[in-house]
Amino acid sequence: MSVNEISIRIKQLQEEKNAIILAHYYTRPEVQDVADYLGDSLGLSRMAARTDARVIVFCGVHFMAETASIISPGKKVLVPALHAGCSLAESITGEDLVAWRLAHPGGVVVCYVNTSAAVKAHADYCCTSSNATRVVESIPAGRPVLFVPDKNLGAYINKVTGREMELWDGDCCVHERLPAALLLERLEEYPGAIALVHPESSGSSDDRVLYHPRVFIASTAGMIDHARRSSCRQYIVATELETIHELNKSAPGKEFIPALRTTICGQMKKITIERVLEALEKEQFEVRVPDETRERARRPIQRMLEVK
């Protein structure tokens, strides 16, 4: 079947089964195009909480589908690729947090949404790159805070909030490839361009990047919004490469140059259009979080959704 035929079949099955397709910006273009809603982690979580559909086909990596399942326990949450994981989420376990808490009585744990349900179950607050700064600012100053698992995002939040959170030593293998030296080189190469930089990038907390007049640091959704509104015609894109698909659609006529051509998340690419169809046909692979973990993980996720 051609991509077009597969897409038509997907739409028929969706109607029959009352299913919604949610897809992350880092998925393949043809998967993005078949989605009912395209978003970053925060947007997708909010949509999962809001939908009335019976089935959610979650085109993203495993932890994202777990989050959707925690928020919407009455719905069937499916992932098209069972083994799509995340280097960042896998850098920490729930036991690691238990150990930290024992050593830091009264401490607060803020976890990035890129974590397993078991880790979220031991956190006080959950956040995404869209609202991380606001979540951290909402915590009373003076308490010891551990931020997990992304050290690059954590360092960026420390810089902009003036907090001194302890940072877990994890990183995203894609954004780690975007250090300050590379971003500055690109800015020199394209003197009329604005660099759209994801805060997970290893260069995001470097002063030369952070305070550069032609740098805009934001979540994926924030970058797209900025490109749409700004009058600038040329952008250097410092995040996962597939984001450019939506940037081209949202801000037509503008030029988007990848900061690096190898910023590709292989895990997200495991989700193919054929697998989306198979997920709907067979109603596979269902993601379920054990009741106890779900109950505990719900609170920090709820707090995340409440912070605008």
Q: What pairs with residue 147 in β-bridges?
A: 110, 167
Torsion of CA 193, 199, 205, 211, to 10 degrees: 40
Ramachandran category for residue 276: left, alpha or beta (phi over 0 → left; psi -120 to 50 → alpha)? alpha
Stretch that binds ligand SF4, among 86-94, 158-166, 210-218, 287-295 (CB under 6 A): 86-94
Residues 177, 262 contacting (CB under 8 angstroms): yes
Q: Which residues contact 86 (CB under 8 A, 6 or more apart)?
A: 61, 62, 63, 114, 172, 267
Does position 114 bind ligand SF4 by CB under 6 A? yes
53 or 268: CB nearest ligand SF4:
268
Residue 214, class by beta-carbon neighbours within 10 Å (0-12 exposed, 13-18 middle, 19+ buried)? Answer: middle
**8 lines the binding site for ligand SF4 (CB under 6 A):** no
| Residue among 267, 276, 289, 307 that touches ligand SF4 (CB under 6 A) | 267
Residue that the structure tokens 């970058």 belong to = 223
Q: Is 87 among the residues that bind ligand SF4 (CB under 6 A)? A: yes
Q: Is 86 in the site for ligand SF4 (CB under 6 A)?
A: yes
Choice from 265, 276, 280, 301 touching ligand SF4 (CB under 6 A): 265
Q: Helix, strand or coil for residue 149?
A: coil
Site for ligand SF4 in 177-236 (CB under 6 A): none
Q: How far is the CB of 171 from ligand SF4 (least distance, A)?
A: 8
285 preceded by a cis bond (ω within 30 of 0): yes
Q: Concatenated DSSP letters for 6-53?
A: HHHHHHHHHHHHTEEEEEETTS-HHHHHH-SEEE-HHHHHHHHHH---
| Contact flags string 143-182 toward ligand SF4, x per CB under 6 A | -----------------------------xxx--------
Q: Dihedral through CA 102, CA 103, CA 108, CA 113, nearest 10?
A: -80
Candidate residues 38, 55, 70, 88; the one interacting with ligand SF4 per rule CB under 6 A: 88
Task: Kindly state the number of chain residues that form the binding site for ligand SF4, as judged by CB under 6 A.
Answer: 13
One residue of 240, 273, 297, 298 binding ligand SF4 per CB under 6 A:
240
Residue with smaller CB distance to ligand SF4, 56 or 153: 153
- Is residue 61 involved in binding ligand SF4 (CB under 6 A)? yes
Shortest Å, Cβ 9 to ligand SF4: 27
Residues that bind ligand SF4 (CB under 6 A): 26, 61, 86-88, 114, 172-174, 240, 265, 267-268
